[in-house]
Amino acid sequence: TIPVIIDCDPGIDDVMALTLAFAHPELDIKLITTEPGNQTQAKTIHNALAFTSYMKKDIEIARGLDNPFFRQLEIADEVHGDNGLGDVLFPQPTIQLSNRTAIEAMKETLLSSDEQIVLIATGPLTNVGALLLAHPEVKSKIKYISYMGGAAVGGNMTPTSEFNVYVDPHAADIVFRSGIPIIMSGLDVTHKAYVTKEELNQIEAIGTDFAQKVVQMLRFYVHAAKQTAFHEDDFESRIRLHDLCAVSYVLTPELFEGDDCYVAVELEGKLTAGTTVVDYEQRTGLPHNVKVLHTVHREKFVEQFLSAVQTMSRQ
Ligand code: BDR
Ligand code: CA
């Protein structure tokens, strides 16, 4: 098994990523931590508790920091809805919130582990950045960070910045400079990690309450994406499951291709704050700190997701 900690901001694609992780017993989920991003802290923590309870998983869930390091919090309610899950309701959680904070829980879990742990991060990196600042001794316990965020080219918040990095660039900067190996599932690969409307119908055909909820969430998400996009005509047929890539990579790295590069986070740029600057051409001569993914075997990726929904439908 692969021991992992998942830091997330659920969030529609975050719960899809959790679904994939829950469906695979080869991932030993030691801890889930939450932070604001797609919605406020109160809502992301509620969603993590409610979703994990609904999936009948008994995993410690700890509350992270309430705000980005310096920036005013910006949420993505237009994409994820007022409750953060596209208005889909899960029963009240049966799991209690941990009495440890996310930072304490991450630190203690890492330091008490005999083996290195993979950190999967699918939100802004606020908690991970704070952990590394406060407790740098945990670094040697982190095998690598599988991170959804950033982009070598383009953005979904500004012309050059992706949402997760944009929300808390200062935290991302600390993580990218930490020396811990990072696998970056940025927009370069996540825009290729989509399900089609036809594939959504296949999920609907599973016929369970859970499959129905997945479809409802993804319909909300694709509709919202369409509303907020200016000129994209492919949104109707491409439902991008960004966060799923960060989990899928840990399970099946062979589905992905990427390049080792030096990557830095732009903090000050007038037009570019929150951008991941990817040195593809090795202009800086600085050592590679990130594997930047650019390609995914889409059919296999979708198959993996569909079978996870099927598996979790039986729980
Ligand atoms: C990222 O932003 C969030 O809205 C998603 O959950 C994902 O983590 C995509 O840019
Ligand atoms: Ca997310």
- Average predicted confidence (pLDDT) for the chain: 95
Beta carbons of 80 and 164 less than 8 angstroms apart: no
How far apart are alpha carbons 14 and 19 in whole angstroms? 9
In this structure, the strands spanning 2-8 and 117-121 are: parallel
Closest residue by CA, ligand 1 atom 2: 163
pLDDT in tens, 279-314: 999 999 999 999 999 999 999 999 999 999 999 998
Rg (CA), the chain: 18
Known catalytic residues are: 242
130 CB neighbour count, 10 Å cutoff: 21
Whether the complex's predicted ipTM is more than 0.95 is answered with yes
pTM of the model: 0.97
Q: Look up tokens 């304490």; give the residue.
A: 104
Smallest CA-to-CA distance from 171 within 202, 149, 141, 154 is with: 149
**Confidence at 222, pLDDT banded by 50, 70, 90:** confident
Q: What distance in angstroms lies between residue 209's CA and the mean position of ligand 1's atoms?
A: 25
How far is the first Cα of the chain from the last one, in angstroms, to the nearest whole number?
Answer: 20
CA atoms within 13 A on the CB side of 301: 31
For the Cβ of 38 lying below 6 angstroms from any atom of ligand 1, the answer is yes
On the question of pLDDT at 256 being above 60, the answer is yes
Output the pLDDT for position 226: 63
Output the pLDDT for position 227: 63
How far apart are alpha carbons 38 and 76 in whole angstroms? 5
For the Cβ of 279 lying below 6 angstroms from any atom of ligand 1, the answer is no
Q: What distance in angstroms lies between residue 46's CA and the mean position of ligand 2's atoms?
A: 15
Output the pLDDT for position 231: 46
Compute the C-alpha angle 40/232/247, nearest 5°: 50
